[in-house]
Amino acid sequence: MLFDFKKPKIELIDTKVLILPIFKNNKFSDLASQIDKKLNFLISDIIKEKYWKPDLGQIHTIYSNQKLKIKKIVLLGLGDKAKITDEKYWRALSNAVSYLNKINITEIAVYLDGIKEQKLQNTIEIFLLSLYKFNYHKSQKNHFVKSKIVFLIDNINKETVLISKKSQIFANAINNVRDLVNHPSNIITPKKLSEKAKKFKNELISVKTYDEKELDKMGLRLFTSVSKGSIEDAQMIILDYKPKKYDKTISIIGKGLTFDAGGISLKPANKMDEMKMDMAGGAVVFGVFEAISKLMPKNVRVVGVIGACENLPGHNALKPGDIIKSYSGKTVEIINTDAEGRLVLADLISYIVDKYKPEYLIDIATLTGAIVIALGHEYIGLVGNDQKSIKKLIEISEKSYEKIWQLPIDELFHEEFKSDVADLNNVGNGAEGGASSAAAFLEEFVNPKTKWMHMDIGGSAIISKTTKAFMPKGGTGSGVKTLVEFIENLN
Ligand code: BES
Ligand code: ZN
Ligand code: ZN
């Protein structure tokens, strides 16, 4: 993909297609006026005669009939200028981009009127995220290949170039996470994730993987208990980004269930196919490492961890009533084998705190269905033990296109996990307040000195209906943007 920045002057635009944003009831931008004039006031006429209204997200295509180098102009309605928000703008823009992507247009210029800095970075990311398609398994590929994208902006400087590089890094990382999440479980197995992790090895990043036998020996039996019903070998993957000098360590731990059938507490068949995405948290760890391997944040060591396995009802499977001893020493009575993510994460958390002693620890997981009921598919649910870090993470997300909402956690949620026969049970009150209570289970394994946050992406990691064109249905890559920005902001 080729990127270019140009000033918004018609004589400079030689791309075949231009996306031209137009506000309703507002003066045209300079570029729109110039084009309108060259086309004998065609755009003005179209609006005056009501062939098209520049309502938010409405597009209308016109052709220049050799009067310009640009052949096709996609008029993009932005609605009322007074009512526009970043979110509305991004949704409208992504509408136009994905429309062009559908008809396989490979050269696009887009006018980004008055957009700069943070918003410019976000907007370019939105643009690239709107081009995403998942069609590896179609015999007829329709990927956006050999494309040229020209951003028309008023101020082009060194910073602009930097911003564009950064946004490409973010968008590629997110789109690759989407790929991982969208691939089915017969292709993305725990072993495959381990192989993929090894590709991150470089001077600053080391990669270690542990198989199920090793994990059993090391005492991560809560984790391995989940994998017993499957023929696939469980894998713990540790990616360690260690710059020469660092004074902080952060660990990002991802749930990597390559398939969650529920185990012996089998899930209903309806929508079970979606459970190929239960490794989305693990995929986010890959996304974070893809980005930081290029951005190389200073002064911070990042330990990325993925707990990968399958939850299936095989003959060796974990059974309700079983009691398992965790890495931390606490015993857990299994009431429901479908509450497996917390078992995997609990052991990973205690292991990482024990061996790496990070100052910050963030786990990210498609942990509960309850989060979908609480927050829908837009928001990441956030729980943690350090309000300052929570505030910072939310503030960072607010400057982007990701949304985070804090959920409560207190003593009562912890009490749900009392067991008559073991130290803890694994379901508490189940779905009632389920996202908070799952987090309370995890907190049982967190050292209170560690600044811990838990991101439940059960709702945001995959969507079954496209409501925003930059988030096409399927895997979304939710979490990558905020986590990478958080790491970069730790300095
Ligand atoms: N992976 C699921 C959570 C999930 C379900 C995320 C649907 C997104 C959509 C998790 O392992 C699970 O099954 N959780 C149970 C917990 C319950 C048994 C306490 C749930 O949410 O139903
Ligand atoms: Zn489950
Ligand atoms: Zn699960």
Single-letter code of the amino acid located at 298: K
pLDDT for residue 143: 58
Position 357 pLDDT exceeds 60: yes
pLDDT for residue 144: 55
Looking at per-residue confidence, does 14 or 491 come out higher? Answer: 14
Question: What's the pLDDT band for 49 if we cut at 50, 70, 90?
Answer: very high
pLDDT for residue 199: 98
Cβ of 219 below 6 Å from ligand 1: no
- Answer whether 241's CB lies under 8 Å from 301's CB: yes
301 is catalytic: no
Position 145 pLDDT exceeds 60: no
pLDDT digits (tens, 9 = 90+) for 153-209: 998 999 999 999 999 999 999 999 999 999 999 999 999 999 999 999 999 999 999
pLDDT for residue 318: 98
Cβ of 77 below 6 Å from ligand 1: no
CA of residue 470 to ligand 1 center, whole Å: 26
Average pLDDT in the chain: 96
Cβ of 443 below 6 Å from ligand 1: no
Q: Whose CA is nearest to atom 7 of ligand 1?
A: 369
Q: Buried b / exposed e across 426-443, counting CB within 10 Å, b at 16+?
A: bbbebeebbbbbbbbbbb
Q: Sort 390 into a burial class: Cβ within 10 Å, 0-12 / 13-18 / 19+.
A: middle
Catalytic residue among 178, 192, 276, 342: 342
Beta strands in 39-192 (DSSP E): 59-63, 72-80, 107-111, 148-152
Lowest-confidence pick of 56-65, 94-103, 140-149, 352-361: 140-149
pLDDT for residue 295: 98
pLDDT digits (tens, 9 = 90+) for 3-40: 899 999 999 998 999 999 999 988 999 999 999 999 99
Conformational region of residue 15, where left means phi above 0, alpha means psi within -120 to 50, and beta covers everything else: beta
CA distance 18 to 8: 11
pLDDT for residue 139: 87
pLDDT for residue 142: 63
Catalytic residue among 6, 72, 148, 267: 267
Q: Whose CA is nearest to atom 8 of ligand 1?
A: 458
pLDDT for residue 490: 95
Mean per-residue pLDDT, 442-453: 98
Cβ of 340 below 6 Å from ligand 1: yes
Share of the chain above pLDDT 70, in %: 99
Can you say how many angstroms the Cα of residue 249 is from the centroid of all Cα atoms in its chain? 22
CA of residue 277 to ligand 1 center, whole Å: 12
CA of residue 397 to ligand 1 center, whole Å: 25
pLDDT for residue 141: 72
CA distance 85 to 398: 13
Cβ of 341 below 6 Å from ligand 1: yes
pLDDT digits (tens, 9 = 90+) for 113-126: 999 999 999 999 99
pLDDT digits (tens, 9 = 90+) for 286-325: 999 999 999 999 999 999 999 999 999 999 999 999 999 9
pTM: predicted TM-score of the whole model, two decimal places: 0.97
CA distance 276 to 298: 35
Cβ of 278 below 6 Å from ligand 1: yes
CA of residue 450 to ligand 1 center, whole Å: 26
* Ligand having the closest approach to the CA of 438: 1
Cβ of 310 below 6 Å from ligand 1: no
User: Quick one: which of 149, 145, 82 has its CA closest to 111?
Assistant: 149
pLDDT for residue 20: 98
Looking at per-residue confidence, does 141 or 115 come out higher? Answer: 115
267 is catalytic: yes
Q: Whose CA is nearest to atom 19 of ligand 1?
A: 430
Ligand 1 mutation target, pool 338, 372, 413, 417, most atoms within 8 A of CB: 338
pLDDT for residue 21: 97
User: Quick one: which of 284, 280, 287, 239 has its CA closest to 260?
Assistant: 280
CA of residue 354 to ligand 2 center, whole Å: 26
pLDDT digits (tens, 9 = 90+) for 386-413: 999 999 999 999 999 999 999 999 999 9
pLDDT digits (tens, 9 = 90+) for 459-484: 999 999 998 999 999 999 999 999 99
